[in-house]
Homo-oligomer: A and B are copies of this chain.
Amino acid sequence: MVGMRRPTMADVAREVGVTAKTVSRVLNDDGPVAADTRERVLAAVRRLGYQPNLMARNMRVGARDAAIGLVIPEMGNPFFGTVAGAVESAVRARGLTLIVGSSSETADLEQSLIATFLARRVSALMVVPSATGDHRHLRAERAAGLPVVFLDRPAVGMAADQVVSGNRDGARDGVAHLLAGGHRRIGFVGDLPATLYTRRERFQGYRDALEAAGVPFDRMLVESGHDQEAACAAVLRLLALPDPPTALFAANNFASMGAVVALARTGRRDVALVGFDDLTLAEVLDPPLTVVAQDPAAIGAAAAELVLSRLDGHRSKAARRLVIPTRLIPRGSGEIPPPS
Write the residues of chain A forming the contact surface with B, with a CB cutoff of 8 angstroms. Answer: 1-4, 6, 49, 51-56, 58-59, 63, 65, 67, 74-78, 80-82, 84-85, 88-89, 92, 97-102, 115-116, 118-121, 140, 143-145, 257, 260-261, 264, 279-281, 283-286, 296-297, 315
Q: Are A120 and B54 in contact (CB under 8 A)?
A: yes
Contacts of A76 in B (CB 8 A): 78, 81-82, 85, 296-297
Contacts of A63 in B (CB 8 A): 6, 53
Contacts of A116 in B (CB 8 A): 54, 97
Given contacts A55-B55, A85-B76, contact A264 B284 (CB under 8 A): yes
Given contacts A54-B119, A97-B99, contact A74 B85 (CB under 8 A): yes
Contacts of A119 in B (CB 8 A): 51-54
Given contacts A59-B55, A101-B98, A315-B2, contact A88 B67 (CB under 8 A): no
Q: What 7 A-B pairs are tightest by C-beta distance, nearest first?
A: A75-B85, A76-B82, A81-B81, A2-B145, A281-B281, A54-B119, A75-B81
**Which of B58, B100, B140 is close to A100, meaning CB atoms less than 8 Å apart?**
B100
Q: Are A264 and B280 in contact (CB under 8 A)?
A: no
Q: Are A100 and B88 in contact (CB under 8 A)?
A: yes
Most buried by B among A118, A120, A279, A284: A284
Q: Are B100 and A55 in contact (CB under 8 A)?
A: no
Contacts of A75 in B (CB 8 A): 75, 81-82, 84-85, 88
**Which of B78, B284, B296 is close to A285, meaning CB atoms less than 8 Å apart?**
B284
How far apart are the CA atoms of A257 and B284 in the complex, in Å? 8
Chain B: minimal CB distance from A318 (Å): 14
Chain B: minimal CB distance from A339 (Å): 22
How far apart are the CA atoms of A98 and B70 in the complex, in Å? 11
